[in-house]
Every structure is written in C-alpha cells, then in structure tokens.
Amino acid sequence: MPNPPDRIHSAAVHGAIGAIWRIESGRLIAGLARITGDLSQAEDMAHEALLAALERWPATGIPPNPGGWLMTTAKNKAIDAARRERNYQRKLALVADDPTGPASATDDLDDIVDRLDDHISDDLLRLIFTACHPALPLEARVALILRCLGGLSTEEIARAFLISDSTAAQRIVRAKKALVEKSIRFVMPTASEIEQRLTSVLEVIYLLFNEGYSATSGEDWMRPELCADALRLARLLAQLAPDEAEVLGLLALLELQASRLAARRGPDGSPVLLLDQDRRRWDRLHIRLGLQALAKAERLAARHVNARAAEGDTASLPYTLQASIAACHARAARAEDTDWRRIANLYDVLSQVWPTPVVDLNRAVATGMAGDPAAGLEILEAAASSPATSNYPQLPAVRAHLLSQLDRHDEAADRYRQAAALTRNAGERTTFLARADTEVALSVRDSGSDRSRPDGEFTQ
C-alpha cells in the first residue's frame, strides 16, 4: 500500500533533519558547552532542540537557516537554565552577604551567546578533548565522540557496534554520568597536558577506524561506515590542530588505509589480502589526500624530533610511522614493486616506540618479505611469548606464511588450520582454510618449484 503523501513528506523531512543534525550537532554542542561549562548538560540541550525540530519542521517546513534555528532554540534553553542557576547563585550570595554576587549577575549573557560563532574552532577542539578525556573509559570516549561530534543517533551507534539500541543508550547515559562523576569540565587542556590528552583523542579515532576496517565480530568483517566516521573526525581534527605531527600522521594513515576498502573485499565478500588486491581499485583520491597529509606530518615530525633531541629525549610518532609504512604500499604500482626493506626498517623503529604484538607480527611479515623469513620467525617467537596473543589468529597465520616461505608447507598448513580455528570472523576463516589447502597441495608437489605468492599483510 502506498504511503499517504503527508507520510512521505514527513519521512523526507526526517531524512533532511538527520542530515542537518550530522552537520550541526558538533558546533551546536560545543557552543552550548561553552555557555554551561558542562558537556553532559549541553548535549541534553542540543537534543531538546533536535526534538523540537523533529516536532515542528514536518509541519512548518525546514527553516531557511536550520543551523541558526537549532542554535537559537538551544541557546534559549541554555539561557533559561543559566538564569535559573544564576538566580540560585544570587540567592546564595545574598544569604552569604557577598557583595560581588549580585554585581556579577548583571553580566550580559546574551552578548556571550552572540559571540559564540567567533570561537567555533576552539569550542570544537575543547569538545573533542572533553569527550576523549583520558579519565573516561575507552568505551565512554567512543560513545561520546560519535554522539557529540559525529552526530550519530543512538540507533546508529548501536548498528555501528552491533549492540542493541538499549545497550547503546545505556552506554551513552553511563558516559555522560562519568563526565559528571569525574568532574570533567569543558576546558582546554594546559600546555603540559596536551600531549597526553591528544594521545587519548588519537587512540579513540584509531580504534573507531580499526573497528570498521577489520570488525572483530560478526559475519560482516568490514563496516565501512565506521571507517568513514573515523576519517571524518580525523579530517576535522587535522583542521583544528594543524601543527600536530601525529594528528596529520593519523589522518594520513586512515586516508591510505581507506583507499583500499573497495579492493579488500572479493566478489563473494571474502577478504582479499594486500598483495592479492587489484591495485587499480585503490581509491586515488584517498591516496592523494593521504600522501599530502603524510608530507605535512613528516615536516612537522622533523621539527618535533629536533626539539625532542635538543631535550635529550627520543621522539615517538607511531601514527606517522604507520602512515609511512602504508605509503610504501600506496606508492608501489605493483605488489612486486613494494620496498620491503624500507617497510621492515620502519617496523623496526615502530616496534621500539609502540611495542605491541601486532606491530611485531607485521615486522615479522615485512622481514620475511624483505628476504629473511628465518629472522621473521625469530621476531615472531618474541611476540608469541606475550599472553595477549595466545588466542590471536594472526599469530599462527603469520607463522604459517613464514614457514611457507621456508618451504615448510606441512607445518604451514597446520598453522593456517590453527588460525582458522581461532578466528571469530567467518570471512577470515574461509581464507585461512583455503590457504591451508594450498599449502597441502604445495607439500604434495613437494618440489617447491611453483610456490604460491605469499601475502604480506595481515593486520592492515
């Protein structure tokens, strides 16, 4: 049965409101938080304005300046709240007979509100730092940044993380409660705090992207919408903090990784590993934007490294390093043109500044591809000793790959089967089992004269 015309109109208006919300919510919440000093409260007010729009616009049509309408509506709510608060403060001041109390009440709130737009960049940056405050659990930071800056609805956050709407709603409520409980105010971090605070922000965006890039659970092993949300946040951050090497480094990394999204999925939906990808399907625009950001990150990093060296400190720029590695792949027109020596060297440095099992896995792969699979296996032994990797499917997969390079195909097949048993991802399991079969075939042939081409990338 066709929808009645007003229903269609209403659905179209709701779609348009959703789009306007995506564009405006960050600025709106940031501006409001500056008035109230309280992100949790600001988010409430912004949502009240959104609800008002959802209620009114289907009947009145979308106003000519919807962002302005939302801001005015929310500002009025903010001013009401501030006046209530101020009246309360004034009463308190009178009680305490504090002469400064009533005087401060004459400050012109409307003036402060009217000047909001002049500070939008600062406010957005403050919003990012507040939503990603390191005192908050990672889950809360992720929920807040998607909610406050990404403009995602509760339902969209639920879909992004494959959780129920009610779980997503609880996460947001808990995150906002944590802001209040930990007395996290809407203020810019001081110069001495900035590095640690920035690390926390970058961690959140990186996690968001990776969750989309290789989903840890579910039948769908990629969720490109989440990658797009992370990329958008990274682009915004790069505009707001254009002199931070690692911000540009992370942006470069995400652009370069995103360039491969289409090529990573085979016609049947299964993952296609880096060296098997059709490079003509890599997105040239993402690569161009990524290499641009990397060039800028490297310029800033050189300055950073020099400054640190002057203080006798070593610089640690893990995102820029990873972007440099991703760029090695992006620059190779064919898989066989890849500069594996340079990649292995970059991983050597990265494993010093960011010693994680995943980095060591990739370092082992790169070392093998640079012509030394035996050294790759040694690197792997060190990574395998970490308890964090005991159930990690990539560990046996990388070992299998190195063993295959050493023509130890029986052992390689066993390791691929082990990887298939460990992964929770259906597409990945299929790939590992297919590789195990290939190794068995190679072992049977035994001559090793027709080796299948090994792949080099497991985690990117």
Partner 1 sequence: MRYLVLLEGPQATTPPPPALMEAIARLGEEATMSGTLLDTAGLASGATGSQVSVTSGALRVTDGPFTESKELISYALYEVSSKEEAVEWTRRFMTLHKDLWPGWEGEARVLKVLGPEDFAPPR
Stretch that binds partner 1, among 22-30, 178-186, 366-374, 392-400 (CB under 8 A): 22-30
With binding defined as CB under 8 A, does residue 434 bind partner 1? no
- Note whether 23 binds partner 1 by CB under 8 A: yes
Closest CB to partner 1 among residues 16, 188: 16
Q: Does residue 239 bind partner 1 (CB under 8 A)?
A: yes
Q: Which of 46, 131, 157, 233 binds partner 1 (CB under 8 A)?
A: 233
Q: Give the range of 74-82, 97-105, 228-236, 402-410 binding partner 1 by CB under 8 A.
A: 228-236
Our CA dihedral for 444, 449, 450, 455, rounded to 10 degrees, sits at 100
Among 71, 93, 215, 231, binds partner 1 (CB under 8 A): 231
Work out whether 235 is an interface residue with partner 1 (CB under 8 A).
Answer: yes
- Binding-site size for partner 1 (CB under 8 A) equals 31
* Rounded distance between C-alpha atoms, residue 264 and residue 261, angstroms: 5
Contact 431, 271 (CB under 8 A): yes
Question: x/- binding map, residues 2-21, to partner 1, per CB under 8 A?
Answer: -------------xx-xxx-
Convert 202-225 to b/e letters by CB count within 10 Å (16 or more is b): bbbbbebbbbbbbbeeeeebbbbe
Q: Could you give the angle at which helices 5-36 and 138-148 cross, rounded to 10 degrees?
A: 120
Rounded distance, CA 258 to CA 254, Å? 6
Nearer to partner 1, 23 or 302 (CB): 23
Q: Distances from the Cα of 390 to the Cαs of 265, 381, 417, 418, in angstroms?
A: 27, 12, 15, 11
Give the end-to-end CA distance of the chain in Å, rounded to a whole number.
Answer: 47
> Which x/- pattern, by CB under 8 A, does the window 401-420 give for partner 1?
--------------------
Task: Write down the least CB distance from residue 285 to partner 1, Å.
Answer: 6
* Closer CB to partner 1, 227 or 397, in the complex: 227
Q: How far is the CB of 242 from partner 1 (least distance, A)?
A: 11
Residue 226 CB, nearest approach to partner 1 (Å): 11
Closest by CA to 197, choosing from 205, 206, 188, is 188
Task: Identify whether the C-beta of residue 428 lies closer than 8 Å to the C-beta of residue 221.
Answer: yes
Residue 201 makes contact with partner 1 by CB under 8 A? no
Residue 267 in contact with partner 1, rule: CB under 8 A = yes
Q: Is 184 in the site for partner 1 (CB under 8 A)?
A: no
H helical segments located in 214-274: 224-240, 245-258
Is there binding between residue 269 and partner 1 (CB under 8 A)? yes
* 202: three-class secondary structure by DSSP: helix
How many Cα atoms are found within 13 Å in the side-chain-facing hemisphere of 431? 27
- Please pick, from the candidates 39, 45, 71, 240, the single residue that binds partner 1 as defined by CB under 8 A: 240
Q: Which is nearer to partner 1, 39 or 241 (CB)?
A: 241
CA angle, residues 33, 36, 37, in degrees to nearest 5: 70
Report the distance separating Cα 23 and Cα 16, nearest Å.
11
Token pair for residue 347? 């991983």
**Whether 335 contacts 273, CB under 8 Å:** no
Binding residue (CB under 8 A) for partner 1 from 140, 172, 204, 261: 261
Query: Does residue 118 touch partner 1 according to CB under 8 A?
Result: no
Q: Confirm or reject binding of residue 208 to partner 1 (CB under 8 A).
A: no
Of 213 and 340, CB closest to partner 1: 213
Look-up of token digits 């001081």: 190
Q: Show the binding pattern over residues 51-90: x = contacts partner 1 (CB under 8 A), - = does not.
A: -------------x--------------------------
Give me the residues that bind partner 1 (CB under 8 A), please: 15-16, 18-20, 22-23, 26, 64, 121, 224-225, 228-229, 231-236, 239-240, 261-262, 265-269, 285, 289
